[in-house]
Amino acid sequence: MNIHAAFDLIKADPILRNKEATHWADLGCGTGLFTQALSRMLQPGSSIHGIDNNASLKKQITPNGVEIIPLKMDFVSGDWGLRDLDGIIMANSLHYVKDQSSFLQKIPTFLKPAASILIVEYDTDTPVPTWVPYPLSFSSLTKLFTGAGYISVQRLGEKPSIYGGGNIYAALIDS
């Protein structure tokens, strides 16, 4: 997937309409493709902390004035040291979390009350060992987040996965 396709997949009007600097964390950021895509939606002065065990992400200021800050750690078990975030993005990373319900209980401690969560996942509930051990179809994601007390789970978009049979989707979750 390229940066344009990633941006189109996660494009969310509520985030685009925000005219203030915001602060985000990208959990399981990997190479930073979705970190970069998210940065295109944010205002100058915003920041994104890219958290990953094996992050190859580099500290930088994007052309539109968003600071990207890499943090090398396990986002599931580690304390990120971040508070009052306006949002979290998890692109192809929630399916690595074994106890997703417990993980969701941890998230509000890092967020402001009206924060957003962006999720990108494969639309399947069938595990693929190593690559997608704990998958979440959109239906399962909706049940997981509404069961944890989140107000709204909205599908933003979807596209065919290059890895076979299904689609990849993006969802915006409001607390």
Mean predicted confidence (pLDDT) in 94-107: 95
Mean pLDDT of 39-56: 94
Note if the pTM is more than 0.75: yes
103 is in which domain, residue-wise? Answer: 3-174
**Domain tally for the chain?**
1
In this predicted structure, the answer to whether residue 93 has a pLDDT above a threshold of 70 is yes
85-91 β-sheet, strand order: 60-61, 67-72, 47-52, 23-27, 85-91, 111-122, 167-174, 152-160
How does pLDDT run across 76-92, given as a tens digit for each residue? Answer: 998 889 999 999 999 99
Kindly indicate the confidence band of residue 128, based on its pLDDT and cuts at 50, 70 and 90.
Answer: confident
**What is the C-alpha to C-alpha distance for residues 106 and 102, in angstroms, rounded to an integer?**
7
| Residue 94 pLDDT greater than 90, yes or no | yes
pLDDT score of 163 = 66
pLDDT at 166 over 90: no
CATH of the domain at 91: 3.40.50.150
